[in-house]
Copies of this chain bind each other. A is one copy, B any other.
C-alpha cells in the first residue's frame, strides 16, 4: 500500500553539521510532510548529471510543513548536500515506501536505532507519543561513540531512553542489542533501523523472546518507486513457488523481520 507521491520543489530551511560528518537538513515540503508516515523515505535530487540519481533518505522529523533529514557525508551526493545553504531549492520525490506499522494493541513499544539508523526513529517516537499518549515507549540508541548518539535531547522526552556505545564513552559499553536483551517483558513490539548485523541480532533476540519485530532496510536504489527493480534483497523462502526477492523501495523499507529472516 503506497501512499500518494509527489515531486516537490522544497526550499531548504536549514542545513547544519551536528556531529563530525553528520548533518541535519530541514526542508519546507508541505506536500510531503502532510502525508508522510514514520519509516517512509524521500529521494533527494541534485542538480546536474553527476551525481545522476536521486539519493534515498529516511524522514527524520516531520512537522505540518517541513521534513528533516539526518545524513552522513559518505560520497559525492552527500558531499554536495552538505554544501547547500538556505534558501536553495531541492527536488524531493516522496513520501516513498511502507513505513513502520506501530502496533495499536502493543503494551509496549521499543525503538532500537544504531548509527544513522537513529534517523527514522525520531519521527516514529513522536508519532507513537502523539497517537498513543499512554503507551509505554523504550528507546535504545547505539553508536560507535558518544558523538554518534544523535538527537538524544529530542528522544529524551519521548520515552525511556537508554544508550550504548562501542567505546563506552556514553551509556553501556557494548552493543545496543545488549540493552534489548536485558529487557524483561512479555509483550513488546520492536522497531529497528541500523547496520544489517545489528538488525539481525535484534531480530534474533525478538524471535527468542516472541516479540514482533519490524526492521527498516537499505539497498542501492535507482528509482525509489518500484520501477527499476534495482533494490532487491533476498527474503526467507517460505513456499517453493514464492518470489526470491523483495524490493526495499516498494515492499519496504520496513519489513516484518520474520518475512526476511524467518
CA distance A48 to B75 in the complex (A): 12
A76 at interface by CB-CB < 8 Å: yes
A74 at interface by CB-CB < 8 Å: no
CA distance A49 to B49 in the complex (A): 9
When distances are taken between beta carbons in the complex, the residues of chain B under 8 Å from A76 are: 48
CA distance A76 to B50 in the complex (A): 12
When distances are taken between beta carbons in the complex, the residues of chain B under 8 Å from A49 are: 50
CA distance A76 to B47 in the complex (A): 11
Interface size class of A (residues with CB under 8 A): under 10
Tell me what chain A mostly uses at the interface: helix, strand, loop, or mixed.
loop
When distances are taken between beta carbons in the complex, the residues of chain B under 8 Å from A48 are: 48, 50, 76
Task: Tell me the smallest distance from the CB of A79 to a CB of chain B, in Å.
Answer: 10
CA distance A48 to B76 in the complex (A): 9
When distances are taken between beta carbons in the complex, the residues of chain B under 8 Å from A50 are: 48-50
CA distance A48 to B50 in the complex (A): 8
A27-53: CB near B (< 8 Å → 1, else 0) gives 000000000000000000000111000
Residues from 75 to 108 in A contacting B, C-beta threshold 8 Å: 76
CA distance A3 to B135 in the complex (A): 76
- A residues with a Cβ closer than 8 A to B are 48-50, 76
A-B contact pairs, 5 of them (CB 8 A): A48-B48, A48-B50, A48-B76, A49-B50, A50-B50
